[in-house]
Amino acid sequence: MIKIAIIGGSGLTGKELMKILARHKGAEVTFVTSLEYPGVEITSIFPELRGLIKGSFLDAKDESVYSGVDLAFICLPHAAAMGFVNKYIQKGVKVIDLSADFRIKDPADYKKWYNKEHEYKELLKEAVYGLPELYRNKIKNTRVLANPGCYPTSILLGILPVMKKPGVESLIIDAKTSVSGAGITPTPVNHYLNVNENVIPYNVGRKHRHLGEIEDVIANEFGKVPGIIFTPQITPMQRGMLSVIYLKMKKWIEPEAASQLYTDFYRLEPFVRIVDKVGLHNVQNTNFCEICIDGVKESNTLIVMSAIDNLVKGASGQAVQNMNIMFGFDEKEALL
Amino acid sequence: MIKIAIIGGSGLTGKELMKILARHKGAEVTFVTSLEYPGVEITSIFPELRGLIKGSFLDAKDESVYSGVDLAFICLPHAAAMGFVNKYIQKGVKVIDLSADFRIKDPADYKKWYNKEHEYKELLKEAVYGLPELYRNKIKNTRVLANPGCYPTSILLGILPVMKKPGVESLIIDAKTSVSGAGITPTPVNHYLNVNENVIPYNVGRKHRHLGEIEDVIANEFGKVPGIIFTPQITPMQRGMLSVIYLKMKKWIEPEAASQLYTDFYRLEPFVRIVDKVGLHNVQNTNFCEICIDGVKESNTLIVMSAIDNLVKGASGQAVQNMNIMFGFDEKEALL
Amino acid sequence: MIKIAIIGGSGLTGKELMKILARHKGAEVTFVTSLEYPGVEITSIFPELRGLIKGSFLDAKDESVYSGVDLAFICLPHAAAMGFVNKYIQKGVKVIDLSADFRIKDPADYKKWYNKEHEYKELLKEAVYGLPELYRNKIKNTRVLANPGCYPTSILLGILPVMKKPGVESLIIDAKTSVSGAGITPTPVNHYLNVNENVIPYNVGRKHRHLGEIEDVIANEFGKVPGIIFTPQITPMQRGMLSVIYLKMKKWIEPEAASQLYTDFYRLEPFVRIVDKVGLHNVQNTNFCEICIDGVKESNTLIVMSAIDNLVKGASGQAVQNMNIMFGFDEKEALL
Amino acid sequence: MIKIAIIGGSGLTGKELMKILARHKGAEVTFVTSLEYPGVEITSIFPELRGLIKGSFLDAKDESVYSGVDLAFICLPHAAAMGFVNKYIQKGVKVIDLSADFRIKDPADYKKWYNKEHEYKELLKEAVYGLPELYRNKIKNTRVLANPGCYPTSILLGILPVMKKPGVESLIIDAKTSVSGAGITPTPVNHYLNVNENVIPYNVGRKHRHLGEIEDVIANEFGKVPGIIFTPQITPMQRGMLSVIYLKMKKWIEPEAASQLYTDFYRLEPFVRIVDKVGLHNVQNTNFCEICIDGVKESNTLIVMSAIDNLVKGASGQAVQNMNIMFGFDEKEALL
């Protein structure tokens, strides 16, 4: 039974982690910290966790939180996370960081997107980007795992099989997310009256920080990065994310052939399904990514629609999948 | 006071028409027919129209419906509409057809998209496509008006100002519509449990019939039709449509300059607004189209986001705007 | 043309007021103040008002806001409102107060419910409770009008016709409201993730402050106040309120007879409709109250379902209705 | 491993049953029939069940469906169900009937509410009403189990602890359900445009058939049935049901004392929780019933708010709970 710490556990990803880990046969949550609710009973903040978890949130300033565990999940905002990651590694505790701090390999790029100097460049080099479908072997042996963002997960899974061959010239990504992507803290954005009966584009073009990690992964894996346009949009839903990706191909491939290629590429993957019709109902509350492929030959463009639950495969579910790989559990444990 | 017939008035566009026309100072609804509810009081089917309209639905088979009116709005499905359009024209009554039957100039294209031989080719030649921002002068003098579809309205308004100059090489359109686009008749598609918490792409690529009229208008106005990809999607909303259009430009134009160009192009238009931030709340229940422009220079691509209410500017509101033009009313009458 | 000030106009009732008054033929908004946005253009906060209103929010601390107008609508929270009401009255300006400060006649009751000593007891005596269906004649001549709360409007309209005769022994009110009742400021309550897919009872039993004004009106009009239980609930909607009222009758009256009695009682009322089937779609965005009556003879209990739009008949629409009465306009002006 | 048949499995309760049973360690679904989709692969109708179930829907007319199983869940409409129940019992197969056919003990009452003569009166006598919190011991030994309706489950659990002592004089039940209560077949009721932004009372007063089983259980357990008023309402949600119950007490009991009484009454129950604050988020997708208690002493009335997921504790979850009891499994198996 491995022992787990969750740092910054009073947000949406922390809650989802506790829910998933409660079903896990080989791991148990030892403690959870919270900046906002130190000393407060966890289930008083998250009543739906009653029966699944006990105890109160701890204060992360307390030194005792750095020992007695095998793994720490860091659920803090970027910049706030990196110090904790480092400290846990110093103490010999493995880390899965759900923030963006260790996702971008190039510190200059990190600075460009997050407007902050990276303070642990050595650790950054060592960190593995936790997309199991791409880096399973590296994940097995790492002690620092950077859990991917929600958009990058849905997008990278939607393009990986054709990036090398037949190859992609450019990408236009039109992505729709749910309100849970906008966090648990009340703001004008996640106000019911803003979201209900609305579709709200934001960070249109090349402004969203998740572009940084998408392009970093592509550069590292495939060399040249195609031109990317990315338009995220908030839609009136509590969970789920659908990325519609238009891939201008270097060489045309019929959608049926592409579909077969994707099926082959992911044939051993427990959480990727190639489907004929796509929507969000089949992935919500699951760790699955469903991918549906269409295309327009005259435009030499494949249309890939990639659906995930932004809180599960896009965050806490994938984090547990990564934990399973790092600690030798069945990769599907607690996730089916 | 002009007298109006609404043919096929028991659907969503018929209801919306009655609502708008009730506010009109120069027009009155003389009768409304319905295939499903002949003899039934209109307000028993649409209680929200109480106080706005009186009387019962008539049977369109009754010959008396072809006389005593100055204008007929045809709210029937394609193929069913064309016979009524022809008959009214024979009787000397002007027609605004909300179906697709007279939108596509080329009968072969009509047949390709709607799988039906057009039976009134002469009338088709005469028909004017009712996008006031493009064809106001022709609309003034026509007796057969083809009211545009919802997607074409939002899309054409979103691209017109740059089609000629600087010119567009190709278009990718990712459009989100509300459930009212799926009609009033209960189907698995518009079931609450299908739509709620979902985003559902359909007719992906080049399968949606509205492509026919979009390309027909472009061909007639600008000659060469750029490659178009079009992905419509249903989202959990009752009204509203947001088309995000990616325009690969022949010549780069900065978004700010494009925004100015759009502002100039539409400066005399009463129902088009160029905005800095886009969503649906400012256009729902109005006849406005709001357009927001962004872009990515590296990709030589403008991103135009065009928002309308699919039942108003996308259907019945635009139909009344066209009526206002055809009959010399203030174009904004009943629409502000 | 009367001139209007709106004090505290950057909330939901202020926005709704501006929207309604823009259609008014005899009144114009001269200025609008805002605590949060002094100096900011109104339409930059409420873009949907473009074309309907011009200018920037003023600062209410500026003395100039107390002159040059015929009527001030006060859209401030309780306690904050009363000083403004007094000051306008001192300056000879009529006031419609949308806060709770002048709704409860008995200052002790005001203190009990709002935990604050009333500072203008003489003015309180003079104030008229603005339910036109009950106090139209008094409204005509008042200079201080207390605009009713949303729940009291839907509830009082639902019970008035039977209070005197046949008489009511006790009331159980189970009311469902929309999120707009929870205000424009982001809080955990109006967070999308709290409201979506939920029904949330609050202030259950006898805890909601609106009980104060309901009982005050009943006491003033009918003497003895029956026992009242009141359970407000938030439901996933942006507008609308449905109060289901169970009236234990002193003397049984068949629902059909009661329905006739209500129809007679409200026969001259422009904004009350007795209906056979009730829901919210027919009252949303209107100033109508729709009332549907059923009952259970064995339990000697009428069941009255009363539906309004909480922002219109439950707030700003009724405020304009009251203005119309106070200033001799057609009562329906700007409201149909 | 017990073998299970699901008869009429292509509706919402059938789908939910398959989902729950897929997690069950001691039971497996052997086959599922469907009137609409015989021969069609189950996961093509319910894609979210991929990985959880295999094979195609069978035709219930095929005689082979009556053998080779230990238990049949009947998910058919009332009247259609009773013949299947009887046939399975004749074949020695235990039955859990999710229809209303065996819930009401008195055949005259059954006829009154369902307008149909009961054809298996002996079997009806034998049937046990499957509310574990009330009839666990009888459930253990029955071969015919009548699974309770959704409203009766939430309501009976909300009143049982005080029915005998201190005793209840009358009940007013104001219940809000989700759209899944309106079934999978598209109708004007479950159309998105009907449900969205609406609250819709139906069968107001004493018209809903679930009253029959509520009163039957009360009569059998407590003798005299108090007067009951029941107002069901559809709200814009996909899952969940909140019954607000106003209990006029024979003898006053403070809400705190009542809360303690409920806590004691249900202290051994695995699926009932007494809570301080109620909503639907903590019960959706679970088999829990959460009950919150308040009250008004002056009116001698307790207010009990009882929340369940109408598809789980209100249908398929409770059916599996009953199966667990009938077959000696851990009662919580597959339900946590």
Q: Which amino acid is at C197?
A: E
Distance CA A187, CA A191 (A): 6
pLDDT-derived band at A314 (thresholds 50, 70, 90) equals: very high
| DSSP code, position C162 | H
CB C16 within 8 A of CB C315: yes
Can you give the pLDDT at residue B336?
87
Can you give the pLDDT at residue C76?
97
Give the contacts of A299 (CB within 8 A, at least 6 positions apart). Answer: A248, B170, B227, B228, B229
pLDDT-derived band at B51 (thresholds 50, 70, 90) equals: confident
Can you give the pLDDT at residue C51?
87
C292 noted as active-site residue: no
CB of A170 within 8 Å of a chain B CB? The answer is: yes
In whole numbers, what is the pLDDT of chain C averaged over residues?
97
Closest CA to A36 of A65, A75, A94, A85: A75
Residue C190 with chain A: CB contacts under 8 Å = 186, 191-193
First to last CA, chain D: 19
The distance of D175 to chain A (nearest Cα, Å) reads: 22
The 10s digit of each residue's pLDDT in C191-225 is: 999 999 999 999 999 999 999 999 999 999 999 99
Q: Which amino acid is at A332?
A: K
Measured from the Cβ of residue C163, the count of other Cβ atoms closer than 10 Å reads 18
Across D116-205, the runs of DSSP E, i.e. the strands, are 128-129, 144-146, 168-177, 200-201
Work out the percent of chain B whose per-residue pLDDT is above 70: 100
Distance CA B268, CA B261 (A): 13
pLDDT-derived band at A51 (thresholds 50, 70, 90) equals: confident
**Which residue of B193, B194, B238 is in closest CB contact with D196?**
B238
| DSSP code, position A32 | E
**Which residue of B48, B285, B336 is in closest CB contact with C281?**
B48
The 10s digit of each residue's pLDDT in C245-288 is: 999 999 999 999 999 999 999 999 999 999 999 999 999 999 99
pLDDT of residue A8 exceeding 90: yes
Exposed / middle / buried, residue B189 (Cβ in 10 Å: 0-12, 13-18, 19+): middle
Work out the percent of chain D whose per-residue pLDDT is above 90: 98
- Element (H or E) spanning A151, and its range? helix A150-162
- Element (H or E) spanning C146, and its range? strand C144-146
pLDDT-derived band at D51 (thresholds 50, 70, 90) equals: confident
Distance CA B79, CA A204 (A): 40
Residue D277 with chain A: CB contacts under 8 Å = 47
- Greatest distance between any 2 Cα atoms in chain B: 63
The distance of D190 to chain B (nearest Cα, Å) reads: 6
Closest CA to D6 of D73, D70, D86: D73
Distance CA D59, CA D36 (A): 9
CB D7 within 8 A of CB D33: yes
**Which residue of B47, B197, B282 is in closest CB contact with C48?**
B282
Closest CA to D202 of A53, B287, C242: C242
- The H helix count followed by the E strand count for chain D is 11, 13
Q: Which residues of A are catalytic?
A: 150
pLDDT (average), residues A31-44: 97
CB A74 within 8 A of CB A96: yes
* Bridge partner list, C41: C56
Taking each helix axis as running N to C, give the angle between helix B210-222 and helix B107-114, from 0 to 180 degrees, rounded to the nearest 10. 160
Measured from the Cβ of residue A303, the count of other Cβ atoms closer than 10 Å reads 24
Closest CA to B13 of B98, B95, B81, B70: B98
Can you give the pLDDT at residue D336?
87
Name the B residues in 7-46 with CB < 8 Å from any D CB.
Answer: 12
CB contact under 8 A, B196 and D179: yes
Distance CA B33, CA B65 (A): 8
Can you give the pLDDT at residue D152?
98
Residue A170 with chain B: CB contacts under 8 Å = 299
Distance CA A184, CA A35 (A): 14
CB B21 within 8 A of CB B4: yes
pLDDT-derived band at C336 (thresholds 50, 70, 90) equals: confident
Distance CA B16, CA B11 (A): 9
CB of C197 within 8 Å of a chain A CB? The answer is: yes
CB of A187 within 8 Å of a chain C CB? The answer is: yes
pLDDT (average), residues A130-146: 98
Distance CA D45, CA D35 (A): 13
Distance CA D151, CA B126 (A): 61
pLDDT-derived band at B89 (thresholds 50, 70, 90) equals: very high
Closest CA to D84 of D131, D41, D120, D129: D120
Taking each helix axis as running N to C, give the angle between helix D132-141 and helix D317-326, from 0 to 180 degrees, rounded to the nearest 10. 40
**Which residue of B206, B246, B294 is in closest CB contact with A172?**
B246
Closest CA to D154 of D331, D7, D288, D332: D288
Instruction: Tell me the two tokens of residue A235.
Output: 């839609």
The distance of A291 to chain B (nearest Cα, Å) reads: 12
Closest CA to C75 of C158, C128, C135, C14: C14
Closest CA to A236 of B280, D46, C235, D190: B280
Measured from the Cβ of residue A77, the count of other Cβ atoms closer than 10 Å reads 12
The 10s digit of each residue's pLDDT in B17-33 is: 999 999 999 999 999 99
pLDDT-derived band at D5 (thresholds 50, 70, 90) equals: very high
Distance CA A186, CA A189 (A): 8
ipTM above 0.90, yes or no: yes
Q: Phi, psi (5° rounding) for residue B222?
A: -125, 5
CA atoms within a 13 Å half-sphere pointing along the CA-CB vector of B283? 35
pLDDT (average), residues C322-326: 98
CB contact under 8 A, A190 and C192: yes
Distance CA D255, CA C82 (A): 37
CB contact under 8 A, B281 and C336: no
Query: For strand A2-7 and strand A71-74, is the pairing parallel, antiparallel, or unpaired?
Result: parallel
Give the contacts of B20 (CB within 8 A, at least 6 positions apart). Answer: B312, B316, B317, B320, B334, B335
**Residue to substitute from B199, B277, B291, B311, interface A, most A β-carbons within 10 A:** B199
**Residue to substitute from C168, C198, C199, C245, interface D, most D β-carbons within 10 A:** C199
| DSSP code, position B56 | B
Overall pTM > 0.95: yes
Closest chain A CA to residue C189: A186
CB contact under 8 A, B336 and C51: yes
Residue C292 with chain B: CB contacts under 8 Å = none
The 10s digit of each residue's pLDDT in B142-201 is: 999 999 999 999 999 999 999 999 999 999 999 999 999 999 999 999 999 999 999 999
CB A30 within 8 A of CB A327: no
- Give all chains having 3 or more CB-to-CB distances under 8 Å with chain B: A, C, D
**Which residue of C47, C277, C282 is in closest CB contact with B282?**
C47
**Which residue of D184, D192, D197 is in closest CB contact with B190?**
D192
DSSP three-state, residue A203: coil
DSSP three-state, residue A107: helix
The distance of C282 to chain A (nearest Cα, Å) reads: 18
Measured from the Cβ of residue C303, the count of other Cβ atoms closer than 10 Å reads 24
pLDDT (average), residues B85-107: 97
Phi-psi region of A65 (alpha: psi -120 to 50; beta: other; left: phi over 0): alpha
List C-alpha distances in Å: A5 to A19, A23, A28, A331: 14, 16, 9, 20
pLDDT (average), residues D231-246: 98
Give the contacts of C136 (CB within 8 A, at least 6 positions apart). Answer: C325
Three-state SS letters, D256-275:
HHHHHHHHHHCCCCCCEEEE
CA atoms within a 13 Å half-sphere pointing along the CA-CB vector of B28? 7
CB of A281 within 8 Å of a chain B CB? The answer is: yes
Instruction: Tell me the two tokens of residue D315.
Output: 């249908």
Distance CA A65, CA B161 (A): 61
| DSSP code, position A297 | G
For CA atoms A295, A300, A305, A306, the dihedral sign is: positive
Name the B residues in 282-301 with CB < 8 Å from any C CB.
Answer: 282, 285
Residue D286 with chain C: CB contacts under 8 Å = none
CB of C191 within 8 Å of a chain A CB? The answer is: yes
CA atoms within a 13 Å half-sphere pointing along the CA-CB vector of A217? 27
The distance of D255 to chain C (nearest Cα, Å) reads: 11
Q: Quote the distance between the C-alpha of residue B135 and its chain's center.
A: 14
What's the length of chain C? 336
Distance CA C169, CA C223 (A): 13
pLDDT (average), residues A27-55: 95
Q: Dump the DSSP string for C249-288.
A: ESS---HHHHHHHHHHHTTT-TTEEEESS--STTTTTSS-
CB contact under 8 A, C199 and D240: yes
Query: For strand A168-177 and strand A227-234, is the pairing parallel, antiparallel, or unpaired?
Result: parallel
pLDDT of residue C25 exceeding 90: yes
